Amino acid sequence: MKILSAKCVVAAAVLGLSAAASADTITGQFNYTHLKSINITSPTRSGDVNTVKFNWTRQDSPGPGVDSQIASAFNTYCVDLAQVVSANNEYAYNVVTPAAHGFSLTQTTMLERLWADYFPTIDNSDKSAAFQMAIWEIIHDTSLSLSAGTFKVNNAATAVALATGWLGNVSSAGYTTINPIPRLVVLESSSAQDQITVVPAPATGVLAGMGLLALGSRRRRA
């Protein structure tokens, strides 16, 4: 992945990229922060890639078929290897649920937990890289180990240690989030790299979502 071009490390074919025909759309452009290069091994890409936190600004106007829930400024992380995006260019996406994108309930639950408790902590490149590694591991592998399985990270020891701790927490049946569970959506495009973000959820929805996670005593965060 080149600077100003954010490639991801997830096999798009694995994800079942079929947006619903009635999906609302969003148009935006981004810059990024917390750039960090890591070296990975995966079935679809091996070598050095960059991880970034995407900072988007919407470029659309309200209207029929235009998403009305995602904020005017929002953040994303990548869920797509096959395509790329470049900073300060405009992109249009369909807004779909994780299930419509092809994520299992288990994957979605782990991603929700990850975003709830660890996205708010991202303030440097190691934490951002750890967050991106954890997303890729959840959606691209079943081992939940960054040193084994089909997706591996071969350097960036500090970020790997963070991601490993986070993965251990969010995959635990007994893990209860400290923060409210977010509602995730996936931004899909046939010509641009797919992204994951959150939309505001009603308070009742937050409580209902937490019922899935209240399976035991809280584990402390890494």
CA distances from 126 to 9, 51, 121, 131, 132 (A): 17, 10, 11, 9, 10
> In the chain, count of helices (H) and strands (E)?
5, 7
Distance CA 208, CA 119 (A): 21
Instruction: Kindly list the averaged pLDDT for each block of 10 residues, start to end, along the chain of length 222.
Output: 39 38 88 97 86 97 96 96 89 98 97 98 98 95 95 97 98 95 97 94 43 40 42
Distance CA 100, CA 81 (A): 18
pLDDT of residue 40: 93
Distance CA 98, CA 7 (A): 20
pLDDT of residue 42: 84
- For residue 221, what are its two tokens? 């965060």
pLDDT of residue 7: 45
Whole-model pTM above 0.85? Answer: no
pLDDT of residue 201: 52
Whether the CB-CB separation of 84 and 6 falls below 8 Å is answered with yes
pLDDT of residue 46: 85
Distance CA 178, CA 138 (A): 20
